[in-house]
Structure 1
Amino acid sequence: MTVTATATTPPQTLYVYGIAPAGVRPPRTPGVGGAPVRLLTESGLSAAVSDAPERLRARRRDLTAHQAVLDELAAQGPVLPMRFAVVSPDPAGLREQLRADGRRLAAQLDTVRGCVEMNVKGTTVPGCFADLVRRDDKLLVLARRTRRRPDYEANVRLGEALARGVRREAQRAAQAVLARLTPLAVRVVQGPLDDERVLSASFLVRAPDEDRFRQAVADQARALGDRLALSLTGPLPCYSFVETRPVARAGR
């Protein structure tokens, strides 16, 4: 679900940051719109909430405040993070959802306990065509034919073939990266791909293994850098490894 640039919230609406085990301390960090953050506790779970501002906008200061609250919660233990602009219509409804989903949410908290999310993306690397042509007999034949009879259509065919070859090489490299990194993670969730991005994956990594994971990504970046440009983001709240249903997006 997408966040609207501006959304009006009715009175008594709660802005929800995340869910943690009961017993955590309320975050001291001001929340979205500068509102104080409090805990709503039910069935062994605590939802970090604040009064939702009348108009929710994806402004940098509010995005930063949202993240700061989650960081303070995560410093105390496991947390199921909500994405920006998730709200609950009223406290009673949120309590009811915590009761109804308590067992499932507690199980998810156990899953992410002591873990962080690390996101790895990989994109194709243009160039290195000479090496690619040398390794691919079909491309070599096409390149020689184009040199003998250069024209617009021949150049287009060669360019398209080279682009497919570059993507194919990048996809193979992406599979190698996944094979190397997957054993270092508790779980892996695949993300969306496009014409340039051939790898997008979130890894649930135990906090003590973070440095080893980072080193493995760096090693793969060096080994495969001529075919795949790797980027690493993290540690992040474990957004990709939780299913939080007790609230709704603003503007829906």
Structure 2
Amino acid sequence: MRVAVVTGASSGIGQSAAVQLAERGAGVILTYLGNQPGALDTVATIEKNGGTAVALRLDVGRSETFPAFRDSVVAALRDTWQRDTFDHLVNNAGFGQMAAFEDTTEEMFDGLMRALLKGPYFLTQTLLPLLVDGGAIVNVASNSASFAGMESGYSAYGTMKGGLVVLTRYMAKEFSPRGIRVNSISPGSTRTRIADNAFERYPEVIPGLVARTALGRLGEPDDIGMVIATLLGEEGRWITAQDIEVSGGYNL
């Protein structure tokens, strides 16, 4: 059985990715930060469908905790799957925060940088010895880093996600001798809990986003989760160093 580590899987895209991977036969180690009930819901959904999952707490913004997290992953792999390696890593955890360029504080910038760029960089570095040769990684970026998805107020967030896209290419280059594939995906507007449930709190923004989306609706977590699972699977075996926009044709 293949095993995947999916960060930030208590809701939204990460939750969908975890469930989709489990439906394709993978065991899942999923992480959460503040939303333990959501993580347990993800585990319950996977187990109800006959799969196996373990939830672990992780703050991707605190790289000093990564060695202890690796120990927890080693224990979960040994106790649940009787193995000492895993096959897939999904760097999804993070948060969204918007502010005009002139209102962006260093504290805000540093918080986004730690969670969205430094976190995936050093978490992947920490877990890399446990990742099998021939494994695969998907980094969840954002179309806010491309011309199509640029919106005022996301200069810091989009910059970190753009950095993640570039990091993906370097990972793909440096991990290729081990046969490890690395890709990123760039979702557009997706109905998740990002930015403190922004879509629930400000539903009036949804029609405008839908009007600018070629396929005529807001993205749903499964629209993204299925692409992650496909990229990690056999269907994606000849794809590496790519960023794939998954936005329904935003600003097309």
More helix by share: 2
Instruction: Work out which structure has the larger RCO, using CA pairs closer than 8 Å and 6 or more positions apart in sequence.
Output: 1
TM-score range, shorter chain: under 0.3
More strand by share: 1
TM-score (norm 1): 0.25
